[in-house]
């Protein structure tokens, strides 16, 4: 017990010091946690214990809580809206990548078909933990490429289920019919969906309502933990991943009015457990093997990164995404993901993968996850610099350096168009910002000064010289994007006149607590105008 406590203290101390140092040079804390795991493994001779089921389960619950927060962002209605990103782009990316890597492994490196299939499917997966952590913290999850990347990652997490079933079938060497396995899986899926969505929805709503009405924070937090862990265990019982159960639980909670409170309350649990996951990843590093094979490991990683980027870019172009969005998405998910650890571990235990080959592949995954945080934050600047067909719509900070008294219109959908027309009539100086290339092109055709960008990013607000602007008008339809923009504006300055439109009481509740100067309720205003028109109209008898 004393030894375990001592190791925990060392882990906390090492990770804290490393992350404080790395923070100063702008490096993700993920790297600090991975290095901490390596230091612990070699300091306490834990190299042989990294396969411990206890450690793996603790680490996996970091992914569980991350997937819960993603589920909170994606309600059932949003899931329906994202179906093209999830089941269209996600299916193409995973399938094309798996086939390409399988073919290279089988024909070029002459590995057997089973081994090639395992490598192809594992390398097709990307890192949910690294990518979504960055997208959420930077608010890039609301950008077009963030939405595409999120959809593809969700599909990949869902795809882990049939991949593990496939491994089970290969391990049993065909003792069970593939049709029996598929039918059992289908029945399990129906049962899980029925329990979680039919029964679970009522239980979640009831439990959160009564625990919140108690006004005791620990009871509410206990209810949330019960919901998440129960959903995860239920999914695991039927052969699915813990994280998929947590994702569904998040979607159910997103349908309630408590989802913002839940997201805020579970943040410490998610961050601590995610840190534990990356410490476990760091414990897998065999430094001697890595040094002896560093050239081959780096070459394999670079090849996979380039191949996945090209294939994902092509898949997104097939679904008619613009070059900028396609390339940003492709680069953001070009690494190899944490679920690949699970696939290789299961394959190795079933005798489907050579131990030395497994060690080589694991180190490639770890290198991939370590390198990703360094370059993912620079994707925007890199792509914007080289994609010429978007250059005319990209904002240059020097254009606004001396500008003042201008109005910033955020969003150019139906309401944004109407606002622009009225500002034109008033001859007021304004600029439009929208992150949808289609809306930007429409504004360009009308001769409006418009830029492609995301107003939830502090860099965009600074580039617009918003501090000297007369007002910011937020016309976005998506409440989450609207909330993110308003929060970022208020973090930047308390002085600017901020105006936002809403269409429901629910949206008003979500914006509660943000210092918005004027909130225009669309339904209320329409009712007032109808009444005004009635008073002045001439009645005919």
Three-state SS annotation for 273-337: HHHHHHHHHHHCCCHHHHHHCHHHHHHHHHHHHHHHHHHHHHHHHHCCCCHHHHHHHHHHCCCCC
Q: 541 lies in a domain?
A: no
SS3 363: helix
- Tell me phi and psi for residue 502, to 5 degrees: -130, 165
Q: 161 lies in a domain?
A: yes
Select the highest-mean-pLDDT range: 178-182, 259-263, 438-442, 525-529: 438-442
Contact 275, 33 (CB under 8 A): yes
Contact 58, 125 (CB under 8 A): no
Start-to-end Cα distance in the chain? 91
Angstrom distance (rounded) from CA 21 to CA 27: 9
Structure tokens at 502: 């809403």
Its domain, for residue 4, covers: 1-49
Give the end of a domain, one of 388, 407, 435.
388
Select the highest-mean-pLDDT range: 60-64, 163-167, 379-383, 515-519: 515-519
Report if pTM > 0.85. no
SS3 430: strand
* Closest by Cα among 374, 309, 364 to 341: 364
Least confident of 20-29, 44-53, 90-99, 100-109: 44-53
Residues 25 and 55 in one domain: no
Residues 317 and 362 in one domain: yes
Q: 428 lies in a domain?
A: yes
Q: In what order do the strands lie in the sheet with 518-521?
A: 450-452, 430-434, 407-410, 471-474, 498-502, 518-521
Residues 250 and 275 in one domain: yes
Tell me which of 362 and 198 has the higher pLDDT.
362
The DSSP bridge partners found for residue 433 are: 410, 451
Name the DSSP letter for residue 87.
I
- Indicate if the pLDDT at residue 392 is higher than 60: no
What is the pLDDT, as a whole number, of residue 232?
84
Q: 503 lies in a domain?
A: yes
* Closest by Cα among 367, 357, 365 to 111: 357
- Indicate if the pLDDT at residue 521 is higher than 90: no
Angle formed at CA 422 by CA 456 and CA 513, multiple of 5 degrees: 35
Element (H, E) at 361: helix 355-376
Residues 384 and 401 in one domain: no
Element (H, E) at 434: strand 430-434
Angstrom distance (rounded) from CA 336 to CA 122: 8
Residues 331 and 411 in one domain: no
Name the DSSP letter for residue 427.
T
Give the end of a domain, one of 355, 388, 421.
388
The DSSP bridge partners found for residue 473 are: 409, 499
Q: What is the pLDDT of residues 56-101, one digit of tens each?
A: 666 677 777 777 877 776 666 666 777 888 889 999 999 999 999 9
Residues 417 and 486 in one domain: yes
Any idea what the CATH number is for the domain that residue 438 is in? Answer: 3.40.50.720
Structure tokens at 374: 């360094």
What is the pLDDT, as a whole number, of residue 436?
80
391 pLDDT band, cuts 50/70/90, is very low
Looking up tokens 């994202």 gives 82
Q: What is the pLDDT of residues 137-179, one digit of tens each?
A: 776 776 778 888 988 998 887 787 678 767 766 665 555 555 6
Angstrom distance (rounded) from CA 231 to CA 243: 9
User: DSSP string covering 4-47, please?
Assistant: HHHHHHHHHHHHHHHHHHHHHTT--HHHHHHHHHHHHHHHTT-G
Contact 123, 304 (CB under 8 A): yes
Residues 128 and 58 in one domain: yes
Q: 335 lies in a domain?
A: yes
* Closest by Cα among 254, 213, 165, 169 to 480: 254
34 pLDDT band, cuts 50/70/90, is confident
- Indicate if the pLDDT at residue 415 is higher than 70: yes
Q: 41 lies in a domain?
A: yes
- Indicate if the pLDDT at residue 4 is higher than 70: no
- Say how many domains are in the chain: 3
Angstrom distance (rounded) from CA 181 to CA 186: 9
Residues 124 and 33 in one domain: no
Residues 134 and 156 in one domain: yes
Q: 97 lies in a domain?
A: yes
Q: What is the pLDDT of residues 232-289, one digit of tens each?
A: 888 777 766 677 788 788 888 887 878 777 877 777 777 777 777 778 777 878 888 8
The DSSP bridge partners found for residue 498 are: 472
Angstrom distance (rounded) from CA 450 to CA 491: 24
Residues 321 and 335 in one domain: yes
Angstrom distance (rounded) from CA 189 to CA 240: 9
Looking up tokens 């192809």 gives 120
Q: What is the pLDDT of residues 208-233, one digit of tens each?
A: 888 888 878 788 888 888 888 888 88
Q: 180 lies in a domain?
A: yes
Least confident of 197-201, 334-338, 460-464: 197-201
Residues 71 and 178 in one domain: yes
- Name, in order, each residue with C-beta under 8 angstroms of 192's C-beta and a sequence gap of 6 or more: 234, 235, 238, 240, 245
Residues 134 and 269 in one domain: yes
Give the end of a domain, one of 370, 388, 406.
388
Angle formed at CA 323 by CA 322 and CA 325, multiple of 5 degrees: 70
Angstrom distance (rounded) from CA 187 to CA 383: 45
Angstrom distance (rounded) from CA 476 to CA 436: 11
Name the DSSP letter for residue 467.
G
CA-CA distances (angstroms) from residue 252 to 197, 202, 474, 523? 7, 9, 28, 27
Looking up tokens 């493994």 gives 41
Any idea what the CATH number is for the domain that residue 266 is in? Answer: 1.20.1530.20
Residue 199, Cβ neighbours under 10 Å: how many? 10
């Amino acid at each position: 017990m004393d030894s375990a406590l001592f190791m925990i203290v060392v882990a906390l101390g090492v990770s804290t010091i490393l992350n404080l140092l790395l923070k100063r040079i702008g490096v993700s804390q993920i790297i600090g946690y991975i290095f901490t795991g390596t230091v612990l493994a070699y300091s306490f001779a834990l190299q042989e214990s990294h396969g411990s089921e206890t450690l793996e389960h603790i680490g996996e619950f970091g992914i569980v809580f991350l997937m819960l927060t993603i589920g909170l962002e994606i309600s059932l209605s949003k899931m329906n809206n994202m179906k093209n990103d999830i089941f269209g782009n996600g299916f193409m990316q995973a399938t094309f990548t798996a086939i390409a890597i399988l073919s290279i492994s089988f024909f070029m490196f002459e590995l057997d078909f089973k081994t090639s299939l395992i490598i192809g499917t594992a390398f097709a997966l990307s890192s949910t933990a690294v990518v979504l952590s960055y997208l959420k913290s930077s608010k890039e999850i609301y950008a077009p490429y963030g939405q595409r990347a999120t959809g593809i990652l969700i599909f990949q997490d869902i795809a882990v289920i049939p991949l593990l079933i496939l491994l089970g079938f290969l391990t049993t060497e065909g003792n069970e019919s593939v049709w029996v396995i598929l039918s059992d899986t289908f029945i399990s899926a129906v049962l899980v969906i029925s329990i979680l969505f039919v029964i679970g929805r009522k239980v979640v709503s009831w439990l959160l309502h009564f625990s919140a009405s108690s006004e005791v924070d620990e009871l509410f937090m206990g209810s949330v933990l019960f919901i998440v862990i129960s959903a995860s265990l239920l999914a695991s019982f039927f052969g699915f991943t813990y994280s998929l159960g947590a994702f569904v639980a998040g979607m159910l909670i997103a349908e309630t009015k408590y989802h913002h409170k839940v997201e805020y309350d579970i943040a410490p649990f998610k961050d601590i457990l995610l840190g534990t996951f990356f410490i476990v990843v760091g414990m897998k590093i065999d430094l001697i093997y890595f040094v002896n094979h560093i050239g081959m490991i780096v070459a394999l990683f670079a090849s996979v990164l380039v191949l996945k980027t090209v294939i994902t870019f092509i898949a997104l172009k097939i679904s008619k995404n613009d070059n900028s969005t396609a390339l940003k998405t492709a680069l953001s998910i070009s690494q190899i993901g944490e679920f690949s650890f699970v696939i290789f571990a299961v394959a190795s235990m079933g005798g489907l993968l050579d131990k030395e080959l497994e060690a080589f592949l694991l180190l490639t995954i770890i290198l991939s996850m370590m390198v990703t945080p360094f370059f993912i934050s620079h994707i925007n600047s890199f792509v914007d610099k080289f994609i010429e067909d978007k250059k005319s719509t990209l904002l240059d900070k020097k254009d606004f350096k001396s500008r003042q008294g201008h109005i910033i219109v955020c969003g150019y959908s139906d309401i944004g168009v109407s606002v622009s027309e009225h500002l034109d009539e008033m001859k007021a100086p304004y600029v439009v910002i929208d992150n949808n290339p289609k809306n930007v092109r429409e504004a360009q055709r009308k001769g409006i000064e418009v830029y492609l960008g995301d107003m939830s990013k502090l860099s965009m607000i600074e580039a617009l010289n918003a501090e000297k602007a007369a007002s910011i008008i937020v016309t976005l339809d998506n409440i989450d994007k609207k909330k993110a923009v308003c929060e970022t504006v208020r973090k930047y300055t308390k002085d600017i006149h901020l105006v936002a439109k809403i269409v429901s009481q629910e949206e008003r509740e979500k914006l509660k607590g943000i210092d918005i100067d004027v909130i225009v309720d669309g339904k209320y205003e329409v009712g007032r105008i109808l009444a005004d028109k009635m008073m002045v109209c001439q009645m005919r008898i």
